[in-house]
Amino acid sequence: MTDLSAYFARIGYAGPMTPTLEALRAIHALHPAHITFENIDVLLGRGVSLEPDAVWAKLITARRGGYCYEQNGLLKRVLIAMGFTVEGLIARVRWQAPPGAPDRPRSHMALRVIIDGQPWLADVGFGGCVLTAPIRLETGIVQPTPHGNVRLGDEAGEYLMEAELEGAWTPLYVLSPHAQNDVDYQLANWWTSTHPTSRFTQHLSVARTTPKARYALLDNRLTVRHADGRVERHDLRPGELTEALEVVFKLPVDPTWKPLIERAAAKVPA
C-alpha cells in the first residue's frame, strides 16, 4: 500500500531499502527536513484525516506537511513496508507547560522500532523540537543527536523525554510504554484538531529542521536556531509570513490561506 520510491523521492533518500539502524537514522534525519510540521488545515476548519490514503495525498502528492499523527503515521507505514518491526506509542506533552500546571491529555504520537532486539524511539512529528535521529528507548543515559542532547528518565513507569536547550534540561513529553492501535489515535486527533484549549486550534504552528538550523513559526514569530548555537527571532508581516511559508518551510501556499495568514500576522508575539 506504500509507494516507497515516492516517499524516498519526497525526502531525498537514496539508500538501501533494508530494515537496518543505518537506514532508520538516514530516513529520520531527512524526513523533518523535507516534510514540514504544520497545522494549517486545523485553522482552516478542514479537519485532519488519519486515513492512510488521505495522509499520503496530503504529505506526499500535494507536498504539504502535517502534525504528529500524520507524520509518524506515515513513517510507521513506510518502516513496516521496509520490514521493520514498529509500534505506535502515545505521550502526554509537557513542552512549554508552566511549573505545576495540570496534566494535559495524551495527545502526541511517537514510534517504537525494534532492531536486533533493541527498542528505539523514532519521532518525526514534534514540531520545532523534533528528534533528528532515533534514540535508544533506555533511561538514565544522555544521547547525542545532530541537534543536541536528549535523555529519557523514568516517571512512574513511563518515559520522561527531555532535551538540553540553552544549557538546561527541558521536558518535552511523558511517553507511555504501551503499544497503541491505529484507531487509538482517532480520539486524540479529534481533540487536538477541534478542542478550544488545544494549541493547534489557537495558533499557527509550522516547523522544519535541516542540518543547518531549526526553523519554527508560531503565529507571526519566526525563530531560527542555528546549529552553531545562534538564535534569531523575527516578527513577520503578512507578505513576509507568506514568503516564509513558501521559502523557509517549502509549503505550496494556497490563496485560501490568506485570511489565516493575516490573522496570524496580526497577533502580538508572546
Q: Which residues are catalytic?
A: 68, 108, 123
Contact 78, 7 (CB under 8 A): yes
Which ranges in 90-206 belong to alpha helices (H)?
184-194, 199-202
In 3D, which of 211, 212, 213, 205 has the Cα closest to residue 251?
205
Rounded to 5 degrees, what are φ and ψ at 164?
Answer: -85, 110
3-state secondary structure of 58: helix
Burial environment of residue 38 by CB neighbours within 10 A (0 to 12, 13 to 18, 19 or more): buried
**97's grid cell:** 507547560
Residue whose entry in the numeric block shows the C-alpha cell 494535559: 104
In 3D, which of 57, 58, 28 has the Cα closest to residue 42?
58
**143's grid cell:** 544521547
Contacts of 115 (CB under 8 A, 6+ apart): 19, 20, 21, 24, 84, 85
Residue type at 100 in one-letter notation: G
Measured CA to CA, the distance from residue 14 to residue 23 in angstroms comes to 10
3-state secondary structure of 223: strand
Please give the torsion angle defined by the CA atoms of residues 18, 132, 124 and 204, in that order, rounded to the nearest 10 degrees.
Answer: -150
Measured CA to CA, the distance from residue 64 to residue 252 in angstroms comes to 7
